Amino acid sequence: MEARQRALAILRVTAPAEKAAQARELQAALMQGLRLDPTIRLDEPDGLPGRPALPRLVTAVQVPSRSPFTTEGRAALLHAIAHIEFNAINLALDAVWRFPGMPEDFYRDWLQVAAEEALHFGLLTEHLALLGKHYGDYDAHDGLWAMARRTEGDVLARMALVPRTLEARGLDATPPLQAKLARAGDARAVEILDVILRDEVGHVRIGNRWYRHLCRERGLDPLALYPELVRRYEAPRLRAPFNLEAREAAGFSPEEIAYLSAEFR
C-alpha cells in the first residue's frame, strides 16, 4: 500500500495504542523506501477519525480545570495532554492523505510529525498507568479535530490554523505547566513535557514552512492573510503570555511576534 493510502488506513484505526504503533511503523517504512505518491486523490471514507468509545467527548467548557497538586488532578491533567497528542496523530495523518499535489517533503514532514505525536501519546499513557489511570478515563473535548474539519477544504487554512495556531498554543502553555508539575513533585511528567516541547517546536516550524510556501505559491501576504483566516474559520482567540523564544525557534518572524504581542495582550 502506498504511503498516503496507508496514512488514511491508520487514521481509521480506533484503538489508540494500535494507531500510535502503526503511525511509527509507517514513518519507519517511509524511511526504508515505501512508495509515496503525491498525485493520487483519495475518497474520504465514513467514520473519520477512528477513535475509541472513550473518552466521552464534551464541549470545552464542560471539561473541568485540573490541579496537578493531587494524584487525581494530575492524572486528569495528563489525560488531557494525552488526548491532545492522540488528536495530533490524527491531524498529521489527515494532512498526509487529504491534500494531494503538494511536494513530497510535505508528506514526509507530516508523517514524521505523526510518528513523534505517537511517541508522545505512548509516554503519557505509560505515565498515566503508573497513576492508576488509562486513556479514556476522563471526558475530553474535540477542539483540534473540529478545526481540522473546518479547514478540510484548503491546505493553506489547515497549515495556518492547526499547527501554527492551535498546536502553537502548547509552546506557550508547557513551561508554566512544567513549573506546576515540578512543584507537585512529578519529575517524570516534567521530563515527558520536555520531549513534547522540543518536538512541538519542530512541528510548528513545519506548519510555518508550508504556510509560507503556500502563500508564496498563491501570491499572498502571510502576515496580512493570517487574521483574515482567523476570522473566516472562527479560530480560538490566542492568549498571552507567549513563549517568544519557542515561537522564534518554531519559525515565527519578528513581524509575526510583534503582531501577536500587540494584538493579544
> Which residue, 96, 95, 111, 122, is CA-closest to 21?
122
First to last CA, the chain: 49
pLDDT tens-digit profile of 134-146? 999 999 998 889 9
Q: Are 24 and 118 spatial neighbours (Cβ–Cβ below 8 Å)?
A: yes
> Which residue, 162, 17, 123, is CA-closest to 25?
17
Q: What is the CA radius of gyration of the chain?
A: 18
Contacts of 70 (CB under 8 A, 6+ apart): none
pLDDT at 184 over 90: yes
Confidence band, pLDDT 50/70/90 cuts, at residue 242:
very high
Instruction: Name the pTM for this structure.
Output: 0.96
Longest dimension (CA), the chain: 53
Q: For residue 57, give the H/E element and its range.
A: strand 57-58
Q: Are 41 and 100 spatial neighbours (Cβ–Cβ below 8 Å)?
A: yes
Q: What SS3 class is residue 250?
A: coil
User: Where is average pLDDT lowest: 58-62, 67-71, 88-92?
Assistant: 58-62
- The cell numbers describing 65, all together, are 480545570
Q: What is the mean pLDDT of residues 227-249?
A: 93
Q: For residue 114, give the H/E element and its range.
A: helix 104-130
pLDDT tens-digit profile of 189-203? 999 999 999 999 999
Q: What SS3 class is residue 12?
A: coil
Residue-averaged pLDDT of the chain: 95
Confidence band, pLDDT 50/70/90 cuts, at residue 63:
confident
pLDDT at 65 over 90: no
Q: What is the pLDDT of residue 262?
A: 83
CATH class of 3-36+49-263: mainly alpha
Strands of 59-214, DSSP E: 140-141
Q: Are 79 and 128 spatial neighbours (Cβ–Cβ below 8 Å)?
A: yes
Q: What is the mean pLDDT of residues 164-177?
A: 95
Report the alpha-carbon distance of residue 234 to residue 185 in Å, rounded.
38
